[in-house]
Chain A
Amino acid sequence: MSVIFSVKDLQKIYGEDQPSQVYALDGVTLEINKGEFTSIVGPSGSGKSTLLNIFSGLDRPTHGEVFLKGQNLTTLSDSEMSDFRRDHIGFIFQSYNLIPVLTVLENIEYIMLLQGKTEKERRLRVEEVLAEVRLEGMENRFPNQLSGGQQQRVAVARAMASKPDIILADEPTANLDSTTGTELVEMMKRLNKMYETTFVFSTHDPIIMERAKRLVVLKDGKVADEIWQTG
């Protein structure tokens, strides 16, 4: 399998100029292959969030490099980074990640709209992804008219809509009950298998951890262990 994403000797130091420096990440080197279903796990303060922020270009490392499909993200300007995220990275956040004033359809097509896709292209793709997340007929509902599980499925649909190279998900099941959470993770797993979309999670949730092909265990800002799982 080809490497799609890699970080090399990543360091993130908070309070660099102060005597009490905090090493959120300390020399993390990691490669993620196309089509992986990977979970970054570890105790609170281990650096999971920081790592995912840097993966996605939402934050910049103090040292080290981040490559996605051969592009060094640390060299991009803010605007270039915006465009790169729009075209290559899908996001699923813990909660409140849909635009509340837009309908399901509008939320899903939002990124495609930014990409300048035609209305026909957008509508076709929205239909496809809505079918994939089994939310047909809900196009015109607003987020507050959906359950938590449905909202997260819309978030998955939005993340999938622009066919990104990688989807980064931050505790996507944290606000869901276990049944809904399991359904959501199963659905993402299915999409991962069907389209070979790469998923990287930051999570504490055993439901995700059980289903991940690979667990990257972080401790004190370092990769403490990597566990490959079957299934």
Chain B
Amino acid sequence: MPLLLKLGFRNLLRNKKRTVLSALAIGIGLAALIFADGLILGMRKSMVGSLTETYMGQAQIYHHLYREDPKPEKVIAQIDKVLERVKEASEVKEWTTRLMAEGLVTSPANVLNVQAVGIDLVQEPKISRIDENVIEGKFLGKKREVLIGNRLAKKLDLQIGERLVLTVVAPKSDEVVQELLRVSGIYRFNVSGFDDAMVFVPKELLEEMLGISGESHELVLQFDKEERTQDKQSALWNSLKFPENELTSWRDLVPGVMAAFEMAKATTALVSLFLLLVVLIGIMNTLFMAIFERLFEFGVLQAVGTRPKFIFFMILTEAFCLGLVSVVFGILIAVGVGGLVNIRGIDYGGIQMAEATFTEPIFVFFRWQQFVYFPLELLVFTVIAAIYPALHAARLTIAESMKKSL
């Protein structure tokens, strides 16, 4: 082993208690960095998961004017060709089509504005969690059934099996069309805008009411990887683009979520910086203590012909070795704490943040980069922190170091 490394490691072992305490302090800093990053990643996964898997999907296709002005006649252009492409694309894991209309629901107790969504009873459960969120009754099964949110049920004072009237306007004829529907189930997403203002009906029923057959307003896609929504120049993305349609990812549909992630990232970076500064000062303190304890020894080393440069690098190496030990501690702590947290996860259930609602506990998400880049950063910081103490040691005059010298 090179002399510097040998000296570095052995000098650390001279005061084991101090080394362990310092390495623990630095290691906890590293663990905090890894843990915070893992938690943000976990939060992101959870938020994206609840956003995309609950209802929205990872991408949606509309008529290019529909989102601006959601009129029933603005259906997806060339839906058959679009569907053909969707089915051909191996990257598309699941898909479903929806028909939508503004309408009124009437119960003996109340009349309310709602968004009626016609869903494909076979495809929809593959892509969204509407069926899983039914808290009373059951998912749609028959043509004249309706699913309503729990808050809407309360406002309408309706129970399972009771009836309501759905009223919509057929776009072609401009006629008011009404249907008497039986409440098959009550769902709860814990998201306002859903639970109090959306009703789900079989797509074929809404087609019939609107007088639109085989058309859709919304085509929802779920890819094999969420990352596919990032590259809009990809072959997949291009293959799904049609001139009169708009293909958009969840990132564009709920920009607030991405902004929240960016903010969380920036905050973490800032906190990390402060944490690293604290670590830096801690390392400097430890090294200065070690230097002051060994002044005579530095004097002896210089007296026997050790150059100041060698002493400078000796302190840097010592810091590097301390950093290595700290990295081991930090990784163990991060994995340990993360593992413990991941037994149950952190329950943010029902909490809404930046247009998304946590529907499941958050788990700390580890990835290899956290165990490479953060430790490397820490090692670099440790060595940087050692520069000042190392310069101090290298600049000591021999007479100063050996007060009881020759």
Contacts and interface: CB of A to CB of B under 8 A. Distances in A.
Q: Do chains A and B stick together as partners?
A: yes
Interface of A: 49, 52-53, 56, 58-59, 78-79, 82-83, 85-87, 91, 93-94, 96-97, 99-102, 106, 110-111, 113-114, 158, 168, 170, 202
B402 interface: yes
Contacts of B406: 49, 52-53, 56, 58, 93, 168, 170, 202
Contact of B305 (A53, A86, A100, A106): A86
Interface residues of B, number: 25
Nearest to A169: B406
A101 B304 contact: no
Interface string B389-403: 000000000110010
Most chain A CB inside 10 Å of its own CB: which residue of B305, B306, B308: B305
B7 interface: yes
B399 A101 contact: no
B270 interface: no
Contacts of A85: 303-305
Given A58-B405, A85-B305, A101-B13, 10 more contacts: A56-B406, A58-B303, A59-B399, A79-B307, A82-B302, A82-B305, A91-B303, A96-B296, A96-B300, A99-B297
A53 B402 CA distance: 11
A56 B300 CA distance: 12
Q: Which 7 A-B pairs have the closest CB atoms?
A: A86-B305, A101-B10, A52-B406, A170-B406, A58-B398, A85-B305, A82-B307
Interface of B: 3, 6-7, 10-11, 13-14, 296-297, 300-308, 310, 398-399, 402, 404-406
B1 to A, nearest CB: 11
A200 B314 CA distance: 31
A169 to B, nearest CB: 9
A140 to B, nearest CB: 14
A143 to B, nearest CB: 11
B303 A56 contact: yes
A58 to B, nearest CB: 4
Given A53-B399, A58-B398, A168-B406, A79 B303 contact: no
Contacts of A56: 303, 406
A187 B121 CA distance: 101
A114 B305 contact: yes
A36 to B, nearest CB: 18
Contacts of A96: 296-297, 300
Contacts of B301: 99
27 contacts: A52-B406, A53-B399, A53-B405, A53-B406, A58-B303, A58-B402, A58-B406, A79-B307, A82-B302, A83-B307, A85-B305, A86-B305, A87-B305, A91-B300, A93-B300, A94-B404, A96-B297, A97-B300, A99-B297, A99-B301, A101-B6, A102-B6, A102-B10, A106-B6, A110-B304, A111-B305, A114-B310
Given A58-B398, A58-B399, A99-B301, A114 B306 contact: yes
Contacts of A111: 304-305
Nearest to A93: B300
Contacts of A106: 6
A83 B300 CA distance: 14
A49 B399 CA distance: 11
Contact of B7 (A52, A59, A101): A101
Nearest to B296: A96
Contacts of B304: 85-86, 91, 110-111, 158
Most chain A CB inside 10 Å of its own CB: which residue of B3, B296, B310, B406: B406
Contacts of A113: 3
Given A53-B399, A100-B14, A82 B405 contact: no
A99 B301 CA distance: 8
Nearest to B297: A99
A131 B307 CA distance: 29
Contacts of B404: 94
A82 B306 contact: yes
A111 B305 CA distance: 7
A216 to B, nearest CB: 15
Nearest to B307: A82
B305 A49 contact: no
A49 B405 contact: yes
